Structure 1
Amino acid sequence: MHRNPGKTPTLIALAQILGFLAPAAGPAVAQNPLEAVRRYRDANQGAIIAELRDLLSVPNVAGDLPNIRRNAELLASMLRKRGATARIIETGGEPLVYGEIGEPGRPTILFYCHYDGQPVEPANWDQENPWVPVLRTASIEAGGRIVQGWPGPADRVDPEWRVYARSASDDKAPIVALLSILDAWRAAGITLPNRLKFLFEGDEEAGSRHLAAAARQHRELLSADLAVMADGPIHPSGRPSAFFGLRGLVTVDLTVYGPIRPLHSGHYGNWAPNPAMRLAQLLASMKNADGEVLVDGWEDDVIPLGPAELRALERFPHDDEVQRLQFQLGSVDGKGRTRHELIARPSLNIRGLQSLFVGPGARTLIPSVAVASLDLRLVAGNTPQRQVEKLVRHIEAQGYTVVREDPDSAMRVNTPRLVKVEAGAGYPAGRTPLDHPAAVAVVRALEGAGLGEPVVVPTMGGSGPAYVFTDILGQPFVIVPIVNHDNNQHAENENLRVGNLFRGMEILAAVASAPLRPR
């Protein structure tokens, strides 16, 4: 750690950072925003958990429009309960929920969360229904037992207890944390440090199909001096984390063609080209033995990290060797670069392969086609279209004719090497420089929260709609996660460690209090 103990702020210094020194006639501690959150949280732990339980009880798979609508209406009512104005923004699909509260003249922070969740396979869960939340004394892996009966509103809750349900961590817990912060400040009579806006999306897990269009349509409504995405897991150390970007993403499917139907490998082997072998050779041409992408110009348009970003990576608590052993990897790619250095570069990943049969069903056949599904992670400077074009040029350089639709018989018999390329629409990356004034303000607010030196990273490895905020709305952007790193998001037995919710209230309150300058 690189923390300087001599710079740890006192409560009074923290209050100065946040601009909330108490008036001389009143108790200073009562006017401190973070202290108000801590006091309210400690007195209302059972009530906070109960509200999360109720929100988690509404099924929320994107595409299930009746239940998605129930979620949206519930969230709008939860915002209004706190004195915020709220409305449902129609998108032609899953609606957005918008809310705002605070004095119009103050700097504005837009908090983004999503209320939809991944589909579930109930048979794979250790509970009957993933939308009937279960409280356990610890994680299932640690032998946690089911708690019979939920705590009362004023009961203290063991921070090691876990709530098991779909979206417990991804991403309904941050919503409840944010709304509980409003409760705390209202109970303490505190004027909001900044004007706060909220945007809750019901389509994130399905690719945020409507968010960009809604942002363009409601640009003025969503204007802000900072956008904060409260999503994802916190650093395993538990220290506050701030990621100032997300990668973009575009998917590509490659189909290599062989005979019109599978052929006997004894009669036709060594004569009829095998599309699975040709696909393997084509894929192998895209990377070298160290995992370096060999596609010409792959990184030519990348916006390099600046000095502030490079310093942040130097200070980052890298755990690559721990993770290598955890995943039982005999070696790693990257020529000695750290995982987070590599996250700052565009990637090319094979996410699936398909041809004929393996295992007990394997047969002695030459396949008719072979398919590879790729995901291309993008960083600042890349665009989905340009990255796909680079890949197509590389494929053509290997002697292939590229088509976009299934070829007809004439095309198949007259083309020596044929591949169909199908690319998704994709979306670009979004990243805010670490020396941007808003980024500096966020880091200072987290440093002043008394929760440990924050982990600051230029960009997160995952992809998401950061570009909507950075490019369309023109806002500085940061991801501030709060949930436990072992939360099983997207998988069975998704869970939230209760202590992360309670600590997350402090983290998000610090960000909501950041001393911003209006743009």
Structure 2
Amino acid sequence: MKKGRLIQPIIKSPNKGWSQRLFLLFRAATVAWSIFLLFFRPTGLGSQETKYFPSDWLKKVRAYCRQQPRLILEEYIQFLSLPNVASDSENILKNANWLVEALEKRGVETRRLHIAGAPPLVYGELLSPAAKTTLAFYAHYDGQPVDVPRWASDPWKPVILDKPREQGGQPVDLNSPELSLSGEARIYARSASDDKAPIMAMLVALDALKASGIRPAVNLKFIFEGEEEVGSPHLRSLLQANQDWLEADLWLLCDGPVHQSRRPIIYFGARGIIGLELTVYGPSRPLHSGHYGNWAPNPASLLANLLSSLRDADGNILIEGFYRDVRPLTGEEKKLLDAAPPIDETLRQELKLAWSEGSGNLYEKTLLPALNIRGLSSGNVGPAAQNAIPTVARASIDFRLVPDQRPERVREIVEAHLKKLGFHLVYEAPDEATRLKFPKIVRLEWEEGYPPSRTPLSEPVAKALIQVLEEVTGNQLIKLPLVGGSIPLYLFSELLHTPAVILPIVNHDNNQHGENENLRLQNFWEGIEIFAALFSRFNF
């Protein structure tokens, strides 16, 4: 920009009308303000795009991160270098041991909570003498399996690029004396986001507070699980067996990504889930469709009619009584939906969708029960297709549940619906006598499932949480009643009798579960700030 550019239009236009001159004055002021923000707003490492004047404690936390990026990232690289597929028991144990050492190094008292057949649940506790409140944090240290040839780099040898790989990112040398890290830099490794990022951010937050002379204002408890990616089969038993250790005023489950707009987000609940495999039967062997069509029952057609009786084209569930137990949203919860930034049109463009099911936006739809057909199978298609009536047809479906629905109640009304359609229900493959006796048979294979959970916004602890998160995020926090996915939040709210929420920190475009999983560094620095705020500023 040339010198004097801001005032030249005003000096050269003395005869223009007042409206034009006011417009030019306004434009000049706008540009001047932009330049002010450019030079005086913190950017990059440890900053929020919308935070212009951070408080003193936050400045200290950011200063620590600015001064110690090499130390912080080298330790994180050590953690990410440990393979952590849940089925790899030897390396999972190495991860647990690394965590114990990292926590103890920071003065956190640790325990390995054991149960037969499960990896250790790493428990940490840091008590503050004057604290009257206890915050507890959950994350998991196991990760998804990797298909190494699909990765651009070794998933167990973390790489830092100065920007996303697809944008031409180049490797960053942490040993360079002129180390400079953009907030858009990425760490590529398995579990870089899901879910080692929040664990590391918590550890660094403890370091930053200690270096800044700031004591935690609350008692802190941590549990880090080693088998979340295989469905947490032992988590319930581990929590039940250790309830005395796990008492808290609030549980925060730190998993998943922030909003697509990159704004921080908190969910006060999660949908439940129950899955179902259905099989219907036709002839005992494939039959020529010309000789037997319209005579022998076609299981594919039978299944199609069955499924169309469960939901309509707009996603509405047609099963009698399915919505009966749905708890209405409160006025305060509805306000959260209205305040959330619109995302539907952007998502439709990204996903190449000309429409979306039913009325209402994505936020509204994820607060309703859903029936998803996750797979169909019968006969063959394409070059393998045969002019034959198949012998069986299968469908796999999942029901997403919202408060106050229960999996056992859903099972009951679904089975009642199928009986009304004239189906005989079985729970294992029918024998010959059963097939000859009943015209329409459906085999049901129910998954265990679990219920939804939602912490009321009226809870004082919820209000205190919002207050501290609004402070650290510069009032950019998005608050939603439920996350659309299913997380066993109910274990904490029902089993431990404690309010529970979901607090993600990682970038939404992190490729979690896939190849080239990554963590955007700006999300990492902001996550450190969030945990530092919760540790030191929470007041309940």
- Match for 2:396: what amino acid? S
In 2, the alpha carbon distance for the partners of 1:298 and 1:154 equals 62
Q: Determine helix, strand or coil for the equivalent of 1:220.
A: helix
1:100 aligns with 2:125: yes
2:427 corresponds in structure 1 to 404
Q: CA offsets per residue over residues 23-43 of structure 1, 9 Å max, x none? A: xxxxxx999543332121111
1:323 aligns with 2:347: yes
Where do 1:467-506 residues align within 5 Å? 467-506=490-529
In 2, the alpha carbon distance for the partners of 1:152 and 1:247 equals 47
1:456 corresponds in structure 2 to 479
In 2, the alpha carbon distance for the partners of 1:487 and 1:437 equals 34
In 2, the alpha carbon distance for the partners of 1:416 and 1:511 equals 61
1:300 corresponds in structure 2 to 324
- Residue 181 of structure 1 deviates from its aligned partner by 0.5
Question: Is the 1:275–1:369 contact (alpha carbons within 8 Å) kept by the matching residues of 2?
Answer: yes
- Match for 2:306: what amino acid? L
1:430 aligns with 2:445: no
Q: CA offsets per residue over residues 432-486 of structure 1, 9 Å max, x none? A: 0112111111111111115342100001111112111111111111211111110
- Residue 156 of structure 1 deviates from its aligned partner by 4.1
In 2, the alpha carbon distance for the partners of 1:196 and 1:154 equals 37
- Match for 1:142: what amino acid? Q
Q: Determine helix, strand or coil for the equivalent of 2:164.
A: coil
Question: Is the 1:312–1:456 contact (alpha carbons within 8 Å) kept by the matching residues of 2?
Answer: yes
1:209 aligns with 2:233: yes
- Residue 320 of structure 1 deviates from its aligned partner by 0.9
Question: Is the 1:412–1:418 contact (alpha carbons within 8 Å) kept by the matching residues of 2?
Answer: yes
- Residue 228 of structure 1 deviates from its aligned partner by 0.8
1:83 aligns with 2:107: yes
- Match for 2:517: what amino acid? E
2:275 pairs, out of 251, 255, 274, with 251
2:221 corresponds in structure 1 to 197
- Residue 184 of structure 1 deviates from its aligned partner by 0.9
In 1, the alpha carbon distance for the partners of 2:511 and 2:224 equals 22
In 1, the alpha carbon distance for the partners of 2:287 and 2:490 equals 48
In 2, the alpha carbon distance for the partners of 1:352 and 1:419 equals 16
In 1, the alpha carbon distance for the partners of 2:305 and 2:537 equals 53
Where do 1:146-165 residues align within 5 Å? 147=171, 149-151=173-175, 155-165=179-189
User: TM-score when scaled to structure 1?
Assistant: 0.90
1:344 corresponds in structure 2 to 367
- Residue 238 of structure 1 deviates from its aligned partner by 2.4
In 2, the alpha carbon distance for the partners of 1:215 and 1:381 equals 23
In 2, the alpha carbon distance for the partners of 1:452 and 1:486 equals 23
Q: Determine helix, strand or coil for the equivalent of 2:165.
A: coil
Question: Is the 2:134–2:250 contact (alpha carbons within 8 Å) kept by the matching residues of 1?
Answer: yes
- Match for 1:109: what amino acid? L
In 1, the alpha carbon distance for the partners of 2:535 and 2:322 equals 38
Q: Determine helix, strand or coil for the equivalent of 2:243.
A: coil
2:299 corresponds in structure 1 to 275
User: TM-score when scaled to structure 2?
Assistant: 0.87
In 1, the alpha carbon distance for the partners of 2:328 and 2:198 equals 32
In 2, the alpha carbon distance for the partners of 1:506 and 1:487 equals 20
**Structure 1 moving runs of 4+ over 6 Å:** none
- Taking structure 1 as reference, are residues 396 and 448 closer, same or farther at Cα in structure 2, changes over 3 Å only? same
- Taking structure 1 as reference, are residues 432 and 515 closer, same or farther at Cα in structure 2, changes over 3 Å only? same
Across the two proteins, how many residue pairs are aligned to each other? 486
1:111 corresponds in structure 2 to 137
1:16 corresponds in structure 2 to none
1:124 corresponds in structure 2 to 150
1:135 corresponds in structure 2 to 160
In 2, the alpha carbon distance for the partners of 1:108 and 1:343 equals 31
1:18 corresponds in structure 2 to none
Question: Is the 1:131–1:166 contact (alpha carbons within 8 Å) kept by the matching residues of 2?
Answer: yes
In 2, the alpha carbon distance for the partners of 1:358 and 1:492 equals 30
- Taking structure 1 as reference, are residues 100 and 153 closer, same or farther at Cα in structure 2, changes over 3 Å only? farther
What stretches of structure 1 of length at least 5 have no aligned partner? 1-28
- Taking structure 1 as reference, are residues 266 and 132 closer, same or farther at Cα in structure 2, changes over 3 Å only? farther
Question: Is the 2:511–2:518 contact (alpha carbons within 8 Å) kept by the matching residues of 1?
Answer: yes
1:236 aligns with 2:260: yes
- Match for 1:162: what amino acid? R
- Residue 148 of structure 1 deviates from its aligned partner by 5.8
In 2, the alpha carbon distance for the partners of 1:302 and 1:181 equals 39
2:383 corresponds in structure 1 to 360
Q: Which moved more, 1:359-368 or 1:414-423?
A: 359-368
- Residue 265 of structure 1 deviates from its aligned partner by 2.1
- Taking structure 1 as reference, are residues 177 and 67 closer, same or farther at Cα in structure 2, changes over 3 Å only? same
1:261 aligns with 2:267: no
Question: Is the 2:140–2:227 contact (alpha carbons within 8 Å) kept by the matching residues of 1?
Answer: yes
- Residue 63 of structure 1 deviates from its aligned partner by 2.2
- Residue 218 of structure 1 deviates from its aligned partner by 1.0
Q: Determine helix, strand or coil for the equivalent of 1:305.
A: coil
- Match for 1:506: what amino acid? E
Question: Is the 1:240–1:452 contact (alpha carbons within 8 Å) kept by the matching residues of 2?
Answer: no
In 2, the alpha carbon distance for the partners of 1:450 and 1:429 equals 28
1:465 corresponds in structure 2 to 488
Question: Is the 2:206–2:532 contact (alpha carbons within 8 Å) kept by the matching residues of 1?
Answer: no
2:464 corresponds in structure 1 to 441
- Taking structure 1 as reference, are residues 82 and 378 closer, same or farther at Cα in structure 2, changes over 3 Å only? same
Q: CA offsets per residue over residues 309-360 of structure 1, 9 Å max, x none? A: 11111111121111122211122112x2111111111111011111222222
Q: Determine helix, strand or coil for the equivalent of 1:442.
A: helix
